[in-house]
Structure 1
Amino acid sequence: MEHGLNAIFGCVVSVGLCLLLSVVYLASLHVWNSPFSRDHPTTIKKRFVSVFFMLFVAPCFLYIGLDKNTLQKVSFLEVLGVKSKGLWQALIVPLLLTVVLFLGPISMEVSNSLGKLYAGKSRRMKMSISTDDGPVSGEGAWHANFTNLIWIRNHLVAPFSEEFTYRSCMLPLLLQCFPATTAIAVNPLLFGIGAGPVRDGPQHGSENIMFSVRLYDDFRRILGLLVVPHRSFCVDFRRPRIL
């Protein structure tokens, strides 16, 4: 009985830390209270600073909630996923899944000869890119992208920071409590807190608060169904399921 209560309490702590980390990540983006839209260069630069600091804050949540016996078997970097074992599998399989997911748009781009445009093989074609200097020719398309703050945010900064926070720092905590399949299902719910329709500007403050309250209430109900009635979901913390 005592062991079951300890397991449930451990699950609540792990999930609570993940929920708190998700809220902190979202709050770090909106702490600036910028009067500009999310696509304004000033707002983008400020949020770059926020996610940079979150790269150091997020691992602290993992370290606090991680079973210390785990660190006797593997290093903290390995828990975060920084390791050479399985590197090729981690690089190839997600790439193939991404290709399958975007197979339709990729096929359309290839059929429209945009692949040749990016490769610089068709210099007579031009692609319209939103820059201050107007349309950019094919050979300068990639250079224009890497100088475009919106493109950098959407394709580099946001994917890396979100994956690091929600995958590297949250999944080890969830795997201490749930089986892998359940952790995979719960993790997107946590990501949904940060990816919800939060609107910029003080005029939408009440809407954002109500959305957060509803989302938290729904999330609490789901966790109640997962954790409390089914103790088989909770494992012995002396035998972590990480790695």
Structure 2
Amino acid sequence: MSPFCDMGVLEQFIEPVGFADVSASVALLTCLGLSTLFVILLNAVSRKARDHPETMVRRMIVAVVVMPVVSIIVLTLLSSRDTTDKAMPLYEWLGFRTHRLWYAILCPIVLVTVGYGSEYLHRILNREPLLDVGDLLCLHGFRNIIAAPLAEEFVFRSCMLPLLLPHWSVTICVFLAPAIFGVAHLHLAWEAYRNGERIQRLILVACAQICYTTLFGAFSAFLFLRTGHFVACYLSHAYCNMLGLPNFGEIPAHPHKSVLMVGHVVAMVLFFGLLAPLTDVSLTGTQFSSYFVP
């Protein structure tokens, strides 16, 4: 483990480094620590409602500025000079590279569009707008589509996966970091409790929140490791937040319910069928590919 005096901050970003010297327990505790700090800071900056403008602005500053800086400092302190084939500059560990950037942008857009194909069909049948770009023009939409994905993907994907990857298999990493990400969203249930929500409903909401965020986080982590690009997981997160959750509850009473049910099945089959081929390392060319070799 190299402190700042061993290697300058700039050199940490340019010289090949690795995280193999960090023990598995320290790596896991660091991820849990960053997650806990994220939640504590979000709740400490304002006691007003989550959607109050003052709360949103303060939390966005914490999420987009404070937490990324803290996370980079932590990773810089934990990284060490490495000359193996799995070493790379810190900025590349974080997912910032130009190699096949165009593909890292295209790939998540295609996959999310396919996965949401039935939702698009639903909106077409209901004669609703396919996308509401106007959300970006309000503070609430900016938080959900720009700020939240930017902060969460950087901290929970870019900064945690490099620490976990040297110690666990890709499969474990794909679900371990998202599990931490999912638990970090429990503060939303606490906020609902403070607002007078019933305990029974809170438990259901909390379980659903953890399941959804963990499953989405697994997809995002998979994209990060397969493409090696931060922009891939960020775009997938932002795109999903823009579209929202699919409206499954309306299907049973919909006049075209059979078409929609078939559409959902086809969309899921296509999504999972294309997930591995479209993110194959032969297409993405990421250096993370060395971790996929047994």
Paired with 1:111 and 1:190, the residues of 2 have a C-alpha distance of 38
Equivalent runs, 1:49-128 vs 2, <5 Å = 49-51=61-63, 52-69=65-82, 73-115=87-129
Larger Rg: 1
Work out the percentage of aligned pairs sharing the same amino acid. Answer: 27
Unpaired stretches in structure 2, ≥5 consecutive residues: 1-19, 204-289
1:199 to 177, 190, 197: 190
1:163 to 153, 169, 186: 153
What amino acid is the match of 1:188?
Answer: P
Paired with 1:86 and 1:173, the residues of 2 have a C-alpha distance of 24
Paired with 1:192 and 1:70, the residues of 2 have a C-alpha distance of 35
TM-score normalized by the length of structure 1 = 0.63
Paired with 1:95 and 1:182, the residues of 2 have a C-alpha distance of 25
Paired with 1:189 and 1:45, the residues of 2 have a C-alpha distance of 27
Between the two proteins, the alignment pairs up a number of residues equal to 179
In the TM superposition, what whole-angstrom CA distance separates every residue of 1:47-87 from its partner, at most 9, and x where no partner exists? 01111211211112222333432699422111111001232
Paired with 1:70 and 1:12, the residues of 2 have a C-alpha distance of 24
Paired with 2:142 and 2:194, the residues of 1 have a C-alpha distance of 28
What amino acid is the match of 2:60?
Answer: F
Equivalent runs, 1:119-138 vs 2, <5 Å = none
Q: What does residue 180 of structure 1 align with?
A: 170
Q: What does residue 222 of structure 1 align with?
A: none
Paired with 1:190 and 1:199, the residues of 2 have a C-alpha distance of 17
Task: Name the SS of the counterpart of 1:85 in structure 2.
Answer: coil
Unpaired stretches in structure 1, ≥5 consecutive residues: 1-6, 119-140, 212-240
What amino acid is the match of 2:111?
Answer: L
Q: What does residue 26 of structure 2 align with?
A: 13
Paired with 2:23 and 2:69, the residues of 1 have a C-alpha distance of 24
TM-score normalized by the length of structure 2 = 0.53
